[in-house]
Structure 1
Amino acid sequence: KSTLLNALVGEKVAIVTPKAQTTRNRILGVRDVAPSGESPAGQIVFLDTPGILAPKHRLDEYLVQTALTTLDDADVVLLMVDGSETPQEGDRRCVDLVAKSAKPTLLVINKLDAIDHTLVESRISQYRELGAFAGGVAVSALESLNLQPLLAKIVALLPEGPAYYPEGTLTDLPDKFMAAELVREQILKHAREEVPHCVAVTVDELTPRNERLTYVSATIHVEKDTQKGILIGEAGRMLKAIGANARPEIEQLLDKKVYLDLHVKVNKNWRKDEAALRRLGYWVMK
């Protein structure tokens, strides 16, 4: 989903990794649509959400709540599925969920670059047997294939109204949040097993030191001392690798050189602690 969001917006506004539950917050992206033969001019506000899962702790409850709240706010829903697979049980649950919302829903078949194109119509038919859709489009989020037909279908379903953001806006996310996400992205890419899912990142300071350099101080929160040791690594190698890979991404975000200062802190069982979740920005009032 996040790969598709970035492709539709045209810039990186959401982190992307192969690991499940990479997205933890509602991520907003904005696309200004120029008039064409297929659609009028307009502005589309995209909202990427965490995936739907069976909650195991308070953090999971937050993820599900965020997804459901976003579904309530949407005018059009995009249900994105893996085109290389037949519908799975999780897909069936998602179809039922969006059906209950009564929102017009577009079926987005992903991985057009990796599947036999003759399978597309049969895949759409398989999902139509599970629920009603306002339309179906096959795309490749990774290769940005077939996005214009998708945009045209979205514009056709959206209600008319004023632009919510000034022209050229890409996202409403603050730099501190984006910098924290870019650090977490590298943790997800470098760490293994349970460690990435037990991590939260906060940016404690983001201060320009001069016209060319910005100081960024971030804290990586883990649940156990063993996880802290893994993230620091032997002679600090793991933490250095995370920082070395996150820093260029943050520099691109801020368009400045960055001095990135990383710290690891044990915050025991933070995923189960409502107060800790609030401090770390993972709570939405019901």
Structure 2
Amino acid sequence: MTRAGFVAIIGAPNAGKSTLTNRLVGAKVSIVTQKVQTTRFPVRGVAMAGEAQIILLDTPGIFTPRRKLDRAMVRSAWAGADDADAVVHLVDVQAELAVQDGSAKPADKRGVIDVQTIIENLQGSKKKVILALNKIDGVKRERLLAVSQALFETGVYTEVFMISAADGNGVDDLKARMAELMPEGPWLYPEDQTADIPARLLAAEITREKLYLRVHEELPYAASVDTVAFEEKRDGSVRIEQTIFVEREGQRAIVIGNNGQTLKWIGQKSREELAELFERKVHLFLHVRVRENWAEEREAYSAMGLDFDV
């Protein structure tokens, strides 16, 4: 009997949700950077485990929203949890321990505090919530057990897994449990499909990842990438044209770099990965434009699958 269902992976920013999603799927379906809150909409990754098909919702990080885009992202995360057959709450155990030790930096505390916010919102939920303690590498067992017990005693979770999404430690056991929780029924996607995300949007996400990898220190979150053209050529290659939107002229200069070197690096790295993902030659053309209020435009939210009216 085949099984198929949805699992929402929720957590504070930078808990490792995108890394875990990519690890479970066995392919890259979500961007990963050192910058928190880079996932802006639920990405559906399709993981296979025996006769079970697990559709993974890699949701935006749950944090205290400050602006309209933030509110839309947080609402999207909770909507994914509400619609799923099972929920995995991913917690960065090293960040939790840093808070307990008093060694967390002020910038770290925002995400860690939100672990308690997530627990409060899960109280009374009828969902099967699995606690997954991530980034266990180098943490002593007694400390892991202490954090596990403290969180489990909140009454929110049915079970606890200790994993490292980065190297795969413990992920297979978590995946097997997800498969058991999927309802019986036919598969929702072909067996060889790894993601339910349009190619144009995936291409934009890959470029946005490279953008943040290169200028994460200088560039705030006020940047967006839009695939304005995606054309398959007769020779089998694909021509992709993208616009990087920023909010100020100074940000545009940062993205372009001296003599265009920064933009050239972003384009080269994105082109290489897109060619590997699409298994064909990619012709990528990037433009950088200033649009001060792009984060307040309804069209931008629609393109990301977010609710504008929040």
Please show how residues 1-286 of structure 1 align to structure 2 within 5 Å.
1-34=17-50, 41-84=51-94, 85-86=96-97, 88-193=112-217, 195-271=219-295, 273-278=296-301, 280-281=303-304, 283-284=306-307
Taking the aligned partners of 1:51 and 1:58, their CA distance within structure 2 comes to 15
Unpaired stretches in structure 2, ≥5 consecutive residues? 1-16, 100-111
Q: How big is the shift at 1:204?
A: 0.9
Maintained 8 Å contact 2:203/2:227 = yes
Identical columns (%): 35
**Are residues 100 and 194 of structure 1, via their aligned partners in 2, closer, same or farther at CA, if it must alter by over 3 Å?**
farther
Q: How many residues align?
A: 279
Q: How big is the shift at 1:280?
A: 4.6
Taking the aligned partners of 1:159 and 1:278, their CA distance within structure 2 comes to 32
Taking the aligned partners of 1:57 and 1:136, their CA distance within structure 2 comes to 34
Cα deviation code 1:149-190 (max 9, x no counterpart):
112222233332332112222111111111100000011111
Query: What is the RMSD of the two structures over their aligned residues, measured on CA atoms?
Result: 1.8
Cα deviation code 1:3-42 (max 9, x no counterpart):
00000001111110111101001100111111xxxxxx31
Q: How big is the shift at 1:100?
A: 4.5
SS at match of 1:121: helix
Taking the aligned partners of 1:198 and 1:180, their CA distance within structure 2 comes to 15
**Are residues 231 and 198 of structure 1, via their aligned partners in 2, closer, same or farther at CA, if it must alter by over 3 Å?**
same
Q: How big is the shift at 1:264?
A: 0.6
Q: Which of the pair has the greater relative contact order for Cα pairs under 8 Å at 6+ separation?
A: 2
One-letter amino acid of the structure 2 residue matched with residue 91 of structure 1: V
Report the counterpart of residue 37 of structure 1 in structure 2: none
Taking the aligned partners of 1:224 and 1:97, their CA distance within structure 2 comes to 37
Q: Normalising by the residue count of structure 1, what TM-score does the alignment of the two structures yield?
A: 0.91
Maintained 8 Å contact 1:58/1:274 = no
Q: How big is the shift at 1:195?
A: 2.0
Q: How big is the shift at 1:193?
A: 4.0
Taking the aligned partners of 2:291 and 2:229, their CA distance within structure 1 comes to 19
Maintained 8 Å contact 2:218/2:254 = no
Taking the aligned partners of 2:254 and 2:303, their CA distance within structure 1 comes to 21
Q: How big is the shift at 1:123?
A: 1.9
Cα deviation code 1:210-262 (max 9, x no counterpart):
33432110000111111111111111111111111111111011111111100
**Are residues 282 and 55 of structure 1, via their aligned partners in 2, closer, same or farther at CA, if it must alter by over 3 Å?**
farther
Taking the aligned partners of 1:228 and 1:47, their CA distance within structure 2 comes to 32
Q: How big is the shift at 1:279?
A: 6.0
Taking the aligned partners of 1:167 and 1:282, their CA distance within structure 2 comes to 25
Unpaired stretches in structure 1, ≥5 consecutive residues? 35-40
SS at match of 2:183: coil
Taking the aligned partners of 1:282 and 1:219, their CA distance within structure 2 comes to 19
Q: Normalising by the residue count of structure 2, what TM-score does the alignment of the two structures yield?
A: 0.84
Maintained 8 Å contact 2:242/2:287 = yes
Of stretches 6-15 and 145-154 in structure 1, the one that deviates more from structure 2 is: 145-154
